[in-house]
């Protein structure tokens, strides 16, 4: 049995300002995706697109933060936040949703790309093969905070978390960081030079991450404030099913090639 190291989530504090490890993980994720996407542009001799990429990632990152917070509030705890709307902006208290962040980033990114007359799916492919490395750092941030821990386990690497009682639990944050972060990144990165129709790699990311996350949800301690759907399915799994379905729909649309102008 292991004990969570109880890392102080605050790196340093100056007056009312606090620099937190979780926020730092978001910053590291942003620059990792930026570096890896720039690398792909360099491989294709498209370095003149660096400024466009930087603007796209910046605006998408803002959409991600907004979407992640709104997703957490209204996907998981709608009753509470509808009656305490002033708490929605309290990001420093924690609470971000991957699926909400993905939706926010896609909406803002799509708007920016299309406003410049570019192909959204082409850019989505470029960024999608890098995205899992950002997920890796996000899960490290969850581990530091001691949140999103798993169900009780008797396995020797079970860990006692500060907020999880006295029972050792699955360190799901580390599982997901390894599998949906590093391993999925290595898989998608190996596909980056494939000359497939735009949108194919993005669809593969949606499907593969959706399936893996769906499976890991079985090990998580459910955190939502309402009953499990069908008595066993979490809201995270419902959102993953939507993500998987959208991925397969996108693959179909890509094959049809009649929707390229829209995307």
d(CA 144, CA 22): 8
Residue 188 is encoded by which pair of tokens?
């998608």
Distance of CA 263 to the CA centre of its chain: 22
Residue 181 is encoded by which pair of tokens?
């972060």
Does 139 show up as a binding residue in the annotation? yes
Q: Which secondary-structure segment (H or E) carries 131?
A: helix 131-145
Residue 76: name the closest of 242, 243, 222 by CA.
222
Q: Which secondary-structure segment (H or E) carries 223?
A: none
Residue carrying structure tokens 């979780």 = 22
Task: Please check whether residue 120 is in contact with residue 109, taking contact to mean a CB–CB distance below 8 angstroms.
Answer: yes
- Which residues belong to the annotated binding site? 139
């Amino acid at each position: 049995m292991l004990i969570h190291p109880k890392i102080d989530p605050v790196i340093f504090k100056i007056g009312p300002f606090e620099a937190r490890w979780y926020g730092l993980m978001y910053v590291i994720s942003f620059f990792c995706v930026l570096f890896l996407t720039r690398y792909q542009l360099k491989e294709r001799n498209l370095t003149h697109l660096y400024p466009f990429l930087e603007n796209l990632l910046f605006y998408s990152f803002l959409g991600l933060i907004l979407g992640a917070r709104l997703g957490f509030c209204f996907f998981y705890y709608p009753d509470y936040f509808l009656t305490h709307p002033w708490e929605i902006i309290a990001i420093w208290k924690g609470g971000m949703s991957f699926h909400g962040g993905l939706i926010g980033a896609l909406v803002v990114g799509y708007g920016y790309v299309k406003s410049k007359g570019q192909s959204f799916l082409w850019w989505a492919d470029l960024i999608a093969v890098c995205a899992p490395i950002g997920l890796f750092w996000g899960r490290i941030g969850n581990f530091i905070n001691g949140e999103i821990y798993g169900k009780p386990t008797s396995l020797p690497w079970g860990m006692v978390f500060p907020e999880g009682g006295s029972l050792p639990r699955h360190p799901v944050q580390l599982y997901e960081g390894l599998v949906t972060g590093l391993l999925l990144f290595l898989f998608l990165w190996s596909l980056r030079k494939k000359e497939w129709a735009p949108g194919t790699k993005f669809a593969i990311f949606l499907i593969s991450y959706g399936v893996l996350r769906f499976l890991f949800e079985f090990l998580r301690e459910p955190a939502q404030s309402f009953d499990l759907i069908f008595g066993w399915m979490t809201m995270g799994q419902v959102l993953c099913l939507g993500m998987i379905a959208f991925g397969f729909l996108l693959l179909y649309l890509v094959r049809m090639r009649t929707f390229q102008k829209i995307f």
